[in-house]
Amino acid sequence: MLTTTIEQRALAVRGFNRFYTRQIGVLHEHLLNSEFSLTEVRILYELAHRTGLTSSNLCQELSLNAGYLSRVITGFEKKGLLVKTRSAADARVSQLELTEQGRAAFEPLNDASQREVTTMLEALPEVAQHQLIDAMRQIRMLLGDRETDYILRDPQPGDMGWIIHRQAILYAQEYGWNIEYEALVAEIVAKFVKEFDSSSERCWIAEKDGKVVGSVFVVRQDDTTAKLRLLSVEASARGMGIGSRLVDECLRFARLAGYTKMVLWTNSVLTDARRIYEKAGFQLIEEEPHHSFGKDLVGQIWARDL
């Protein structure tokens, strides 16, 4: 049996890189005939999909030179695509956020890119599509990408029952809540399924190693306000950023759906969730003591503009 040398394996990796680069069409100097370079679009993508990012975060996560990134950020500011705001946690740090103009510039690129990849996938049988995604996930895992420790997906048959079951157990074990909470979750989930409107509502399921480990919902409160509901992450999967990622996806979807505000209801004892909400830019606007689920609690309403 012949064994390839490391040099031969390196050539194989380089050959794959050339093939895939041609496949996705990123050899063009500018992406999708826009004024932006590929790196600039990558920066816009991160800013469009995440909150609280700093220049340092972008440098580290995109492996960019600090000087180059600074010039790009300055250019974006001059064009009115982003603004800098002082971090509430550290006044020495500036957070970057796209303006409405910046989001308007990014969305056509994002939509066009999505259509191109969708067209590529549609040329394959569904079985091959799954094989391709699994192979991509394995490559990312082997190369140390932590994001591939889990995936976010749409709900499948059985997931809604799982959410009711696991939320009831989780809150009973961690907070001593009684079966009233299970009834509340069942009502929320049933309403979501019966009245689901894909243009204004969404559910994400977090999956790790083939097992569901978290979930979240966005539902319509009114024409301009989205409501985040039932954020949950299994104890075994905490510390991986799943909760923050789920909230970020909710915010992204709500903006694209045309909402201008997002609200949520929680309780003061849920300290881990509150930290995620604060980090995502939510602010406490109302709180009131109440007796529910067999406990004396302090209910809280959090909100943020989109």
56-113: pLDDT as tens digits: 888 887 888 888 989 999 999 999 999 988 776 666 778 888 999 999 888 888 887 7
CATH number, domain with residue 117: 1.10.10.10
Specify the pLDDT at position 29. Answer: 47
171 and 108 both lie in a single domain: no
Torsion angle of C-alpha atoms 113, 231, 62, 133, degrees rounded to 10: -50
161 and 290 both lie in a single domain: yes
Does pLDDT of 1 surpass 50?
no
Counting the structural domains of the chain, the total is: 2
Task: Characterize 35-58 residue by residue with b for buried, 16 or more Cβ atoms within 10 angstroms of its Cβ, and e for exposed.
Answer: ebeeebbbbbebbbbbbbbebeeb
Please report whether residue 89 resides in a domain.
yes
79 and 183 both lie in a single domain: no
Does pLDDT of 2 surpass 70?
no
| Alpha helical stretches, state H, 176-259 | 179-194, 242-256
Residue 68, CB-side half-sphere exposure with 13 Å CA sphere: 11
158 and 271 both lie in a single domain: yes
Please report whether residue 159 resides in a domain.
yes
- Region 123-139 average pLDDT: 82
Please report whether residue 11 resides in a domain.
yes
Please report whether residue 144 resides in a domain.
no
Whole-angstrom distance, CA of residue 199 vs CA of residue 195:
12
51 and 112 both lie in a single domain: yes
- Percent of the chain with pLDDT strictly greater than 70: 92
Confidence of residue 31 (pLDDT cuts 50, 70, 90): low
**Last residue of one domain, picked from the residues 74, 101, 123:** 123
Confidence of residue 18 (pLDDT cuts 50, 70, 90): confident
48 and 159 both lie in a single domain: no
Question: Does the predicted model carry a pTM greater than 0.75?
Answer: no
- Percent of the chain with pLDDT strictly greater than 90: 48
Q: Considering just the CA atoms, what is the radius of gyration of the chain in Å? A: 22
Please report whether residue 39 resides in a domain.
yes
SS3 93: coil
234 and 279 both lie in a single domain: yes
In this structure, the strands spanning 225-233 and 261-267 are parallel
Specify the pLDDT at position 223. Answer: 93
Please report whether residue 15 resides in a domain.
yes
118 and 159 both lie in a single domain: no
Please report whether residue 95 resides in a domain.
yes
Unique residue bearing structure tokens 């930290």: 275
**Last residue of one domain, picked from the residues 104, 123, 142:** 123
**Last residue of one domain, picked from the residues 102, 123, 144:** 123
CATH number, domain with residue 277: 3.40.630.30
Q: Which two tokens stand for residue 158?
A: 């059985």
- Region for residue 25 given its phi and psi (left: phi exceeds 0; alpha: psi -120 to 50; beta: otherwise): left
21 and 115 both lie in a single domain: yes
**Domain residue limits at 107:** 6-123
- Region 225-238 average pLDDT: 93
Please report whether residue 34 resides in a domain.
yes
175 and 255 both lie in a single domain: yes
184 and 239 both lie in a single domain: yes
Encode pLDDT of 197-229 as tens digits: 989 999 999 988 778 999 999 999 999 999 999
163 and 280 both lie in a single domain: yes
